[in-house]
Amino acid sequence: MRGIHTTCHDERMFMVTTNDVPGYRVTQVLGEVMGLTVRSTNFGQGFTAGFRALGGGEIPEFTKLMYESRYEVMNRMWAEAVQRGANAVIAMRFDSGSLGSFSEMCAYGTAVLIEPIAGAAPAPAQPAAPPAPPVA
């Protein structure tokens, strides 16, 4: 994702992997927020991907699945942060794992309220669209 902002659901929110946002101070910590999804491939995807794996290299079916999963968990985390009244999520991380034939993806961070620091140079105001799911 480019830039320091993300735009989801027609509202702007900082979502950063750092513990602070340059030019802003945290005024209130609202707690941990997360988004989670568990997915599986359909039989056709799994079958095709199995054959591709024999040759090595990237497996597009699984790449698409993981990309869509990241998009979904970021939006779920965003929704939880908005519900708590946050205008930023700091210390955002991704985690993933497998549960048998299923793939689990989680995005988590700390929902906070931030405000500009008077006289400080604010973070670049270049809103970036959230990552979009790949086109099939």
Q: Please write the tens of the pLDDT for every residue from 61-116.
A: 778 888 888 999 999 999 999 999 999 999 999 998 887 778 889 999 999 999 99
Q: Which helix (H) or strand (E) holds 67?
A: helix 60-83
| Predicted local distance difference test score (pLDDT) of residue 11 | 61
Higher pLDDT, 50 or 18: 18
Question: Distance between CA atoms of 75 and 32, rounded to whole angstroms?
Answer: 15
| Predicted local distance difference test score (pLDDT) of residue 129 | 47
Mean pLDDT of the chain: 78
Lowest mean pLDDT, pick from 23-27, 110-114, 124-128: 124-128
pLDDT band at 126 (very low <50, low <70, confident <90, very high): very low
Tokens of 94: 């991704």
pTM, whole model, 2 decimals? 0.71
- Taking each helix axis from N to C terminus, what angle separates 43-55 and 60-83, rounded to the nearest 10 degrees? 120
pLDDT of 36 over the 80 cut? yes
- Could you tell me how far CA 55 lies from the centroid of its own chain? 31
List Cβ neighbours of 54 (8 Å cut-off, separation of 6 or more).
none
| Predicted local distance difference test score (pLDDT) of residue 12 | 76
> Can you list the domains of the chain with their CATH numbers?
5-40+71-116 (3.30.110.70)
Higher pLDDT, 89 or 59: 89
pLDDT band at 40 (very low <50, low <70, confident <90, very high): confident
